[in-house]
Structure 1
Amino acid sequence: MFQTITNALRQAAFGAAALAVSATVAPAQEIRIGAMREGTSWYVFAATLEQMIEPILGANTVEVVARGGGVANPMVVQAGRAEIALSNTATAVWAMEGAPVYEGASAPDIRALVGGLNDVYIGVMARQAFLEARGTTDLAAILASDQPVRILLKPAGSSAVPAAEMILQALGTNAEEIRANGGDIVQVDTPQIPDILRNGDADIYIDTIVRGHPTITEVTLTAGMRFIDIPQAAMEVLSANGLGVGTFGPWFEGQEAPTVGANLGTVLIANASVPDETAYQITRTVIENAAAMGEAHAAWRAFVPENAWRPENVGIPLHPGAERYYRERGWIQ
């Protein structure tokens, strides 16, 4: 995979250099790209984008911030700790509106550059042995039972955490009640997740899922996992909070059919203070190098550039520089 990424970066850099010949040079400005830790699809995207836009913005002007996440990144951009960042579409909306997950904070100064980059589903998995012992794959029935259940999540900052809270609430429970019943909510960093599931130290795993996700791939190959649908009652709550309704897969070992999940979406956002010309060039570079993005990571191959501006894909207002690009292409009338 690393060789594939390296090749894609070289192709992206070559393409961006050619693009720079005909492009208006954007004002020199340091651009920090908020992503996630190394190895994630967002880090791969950010590293690829870095190679694409440096020929246009200038050498040593672009840096990838290898931390953050779907919930954190809108606030990272709002606070000026990154000029642009990847965000979930839903969390960008939550941040701009000051939703409860942000505990009184909001991000009124974030703007969209490119939406619809890839689908990011909230999905639910359970160990096959646990499901066999319970005799059901119905998540609502499992949570309604008086038998304890241990739910595995990533730490706060992941979009999966507030989504999981919504699912539990919709199905009539919460973390406190699960613990009171002898169960637990286990929150660990991504590298610890496979071992916890292999060792049988958790029963249900809720996370963000994209095609080719390395952690999901590992646990489905080594921990005897099965995907289960999010029940309708929970999907209604997730939909009311800005997530799309849909199915994903089959993408992984043991996933024999599409699974019902909630789509958070992915959007590249910027601070409103980013100069219009810079925002224009970044938007142009992403759109016109979409194929290189797809080569860097399978998650980006379904991106449809002409839909990148649509309200359902960006969630928040477009940056004026991005809007100018889409109008020039004739996609916004």
Structure 2
Amino acid sequence: MKHLRTAAIAAALFTTPLAAYADQVQLRLISQEPGGSWYSYGSTFGEIIEASEGAHKLSVEVLPRGGGMTNPVAVSQGAADLGFVSAAAAVWARDGIGEEFKGREASNARAILGGLQLAYTTIAARRDYVERSGLKTFDEMVASDNPPRFVLKPAGSQVPILANYMFEALGSSLEDMRGRGAITQISTAQIAQMLRDATADVYIENSPVGQATMSEVTLTTPMVFIPASQKVLDHMTQLGAPEAQMPEGSYPGQDGAYLTSMTPTILIANADMDEEVAYQLTRALVEQRERIAATFPALADWNPEAGAQPDQAVIELHPGAARYYRERGWIQ
């Protein structure tokens, strides 16, 4: 009988998947509020990471909060292990640029994936407002004695800081425009309704093509995309948001390609993440590129090899990610 029990245990060991004996590692991935593209990406990225093979059995909790300005600090300080950020915000956070990051630099964040997608800074105005006011450019709107009612996301998103830089290029600021009664900052879920109700005139956003809120806004309210001057675009380039063309036909109401500034999205990790964990999840995400592209058209142009390079990864690579990229021959 003892021999039979021993044989049964041995058989169970041979039939139990090896993954069951891998080290269990719980990861927290910070995204943003529901309705944003990063929130949508989080679930799929989490599923891919959890299905990955390697020395660890990885599980992922997607945190449905955060934003462009919150996530670099959250990951750097260990409140999250992984997070989506814009490249510009990652640089601002690393270097302590701006009041948002003064004294809380994100020096402990490292890149996992670079160049996931391009996020375009858009200035969209209700068509009836433009026709009624006669203000057709961003520069004219800022200089007007009766400026439009701008609506943008609250603090925690990178949109307010980008808007501040745009106002700054024209001798103003977010605080100055707020003092003139021209700024409303509100949750993403309420923006489309404000524009439909004509309680806001101009929507400033920074997002990839197809982002849910911008899509809803342009489908439910006649909008036009407002150009900014070269002076504004040059100023944004100096601050890590280079000039780019949002492709023609990206949204209803867009007349031709839209000249603006952009920021690429990257996936970062805490620098203290175990190297083998970072290697395993990097490999899994890169090797599931086709699934990611099929699920999210906005990521269809993601090139993992290009994303591993300094101009798209932007900040220092995590050693685990760098090891995988070296194995692929993509970096030295």
What is the one-letter code of the residue matched to 2:48? M
| Unaligned stretches of 5+ residues in structure 2 | 1-16
Equivalent residue number for residue 139 of structure 1:
138
Tell me, yes or no, if structure 1 residue 29 matches structure 2 residue 25. yes
CA contact (8 A) 2:49 2:59 kept: no
Aligned pairs (5 A) from 1:12-23: none
Q: CA deviation at 1:330?
A: 0.7
Matched-pair contact (CA < 8 Å) for 1:32–1:82? yes
The match for 1:211 is 209
Structure 1 counterpart of 2:234, one-letter code: E
- Asked if the contact 2:67/2:157 (under 8 Å) is kept, the reply is yes
Q: Give secondary structure in 2 for the equivalent of 1:29.
A: strand
- CA deviations over 1:13-62 (Å, ceiling 9, x no partner): xxxxxxxx999x98532111111123322122111111111123766721
Which whole-Å deviations, capped at 9, do the CAs of 1:65-95 have from their partners, x for residues lacking one? 1110111001110121111111111111111
Residue 73, structure 1, aligned to residue 71, structure 2:
yes
Between the two proteins, what is the percent identity of the paired residues?
Answer: 37
Q: Distance in 2 between matches of 1:281 and 1:60?
A: 9
Q: 1:292 and 1:166 mapped to 2: Cα distance?
A: 37
Cα contact 1:134–1:142 (8 A) shared by 2: no
Q: CA deviation at 1:121?
A: 1.2
Give the whole-Å Cα distance in 1 for the aligned partners of 2:169 and 2:112: 33
TM-score normalised by L of structure 1: 0.88
* Number of corresponding residues: 311
| Distance verdict in 2 for CA 1:114–1:27, change over 3 Å | farther
Deviation at 1:104, TM superposition (A): 2.2
Counterpart in the other structure of 2:49: 53
Q: Name the aligned partner's letter for residue 40 of structure 2.
A: V
CA offsets 1:166-191 (integer angstroms, 9 cap, x no match): 0011112224443554x320011011
Q: Cα gap change, 1:328/1:60 in structure 2, threshold over 3 Å: closer, same or farther? A: closer
> 3-state DSSP class of the match of 1:126?
strand
Report matched runs for 1:259-274 at 5 Å: 259-274=258-273
- Structure 2 matches for 1:135-284, cutoff 5 A? 135-181=134-180, 183-249=181-247, 250-284=249-283
**SS in structure 1 opposite 2:155?**
coil
CA 1:81–1:147 in structure 2 vs 1: closer, same or farther (change >3 Å)? same
State the alpha-carbon separation in 2 of the partners of residues 294 and 189 from structure 1.
28
Let me know the Cα RMSD of the aligned residues: 2.0
What stretches of structure 1 move > 4 A for 4+ residues in a row?
A: 57-60
For residues 38 and 59 of structure 1, do their structure 2 counterparts lie closer, same or farther at Cα, with a shift above 3 Å needed?
A: farther
Using the size of structure 2 for normalisation, the TM-score is 0.89
Rounded to whole Å, the distance in 2 between the matches of 1:312 and 1:201 is: 40
Inter-partner Cα distance in structure 2 for 1:54 and 1:174: 44
Deviation of 1:105 after TM superposition, in Å, equals: 1.3
Give the 3 Å change call, closer, same or farther, for CA 43–242 of structure 1 in structure 2: same
CA distance in 1, matches of 2:22, 2:73: 25
Inter-CA distance 89–27: structure 2 relative to 1 (3 Å threshold):
farther
Cα deviations across residues 131-181 of structure 1 (Å, max 9, x unaligned)? 112224211122112123211111001111100000011112224443554
Amino acid at match of 1:89: A
| Distance of 1:208 and 1:201 partners within structure 2 | 21
Deviation at 1:312, TM superposition (A): 1.2
Q: 1:55 to 1:168 in 2, by over 3 A?
A: same
Structure index of larger Rg: 2
Amino acid at match of 1:41: S
For 2:179 and 2:187, locate their aligned partners in 1 and report how far apart those are by CA, in whole Å: 24
